[in-house]
Structure 1
Amino acid sequence: KEDGVKKDTKWASKICGIDEKTIKKLAETFYDNPTMIMSGWGMQRAHHGEQPHWMLVTLCAMLGQIGTKGGGFGLSYHYS
């Protein structure tokens, strides 16, 4: 089922409050380089807090970086 709304940088900019140029640059940086995305425990402490973690895993899978040197994701690291 589709909602008919094109999900592009213009759409994302409106809902995120980040300009399109920055969104494009971030996407290109993630795609063109080894990208390790990590998160701590804080996001989990909210209503539906598991959702950001699943999105993190989904993003890494879409980038094709899971299991690559310098890429992938990590959850619940202890920061010091």
Structure 2
Amino acid sequence: MRKKKTVSLAYRHWKQSFQHRLSCLVLFCFVLALLCLALLCLAWLGLTCFALLCLAWFGLIWLGLAYRPGNYLSPPNLT
């Protein structure tokens, strides 16, 4: 008859706590990656909207629709 190997209670407890900490770390990294991805998407959307607004504004200037006296797009007369 072979003798059964017994695993100590301390080792089992350490293994369970290690697995728990590892799964928490993996979950934390996953949530952090999702947060970074969301921030990247928001930054990309913000830059895209800013670029489109700039293009529209400079397009209006190029067409001569902005800075015309009496136009609502022109800056106020400070003189």
> TM-score, length-normalised on structure 1?
0.27
- Relative to its length, the structure with more helix (as a share) is 2
More strand by share: 1
Larger Rg, first or second structure (1 or 2) = 2
Q: Report the TM-score, using the length of structure 2 for normalisation.
A: 0.28
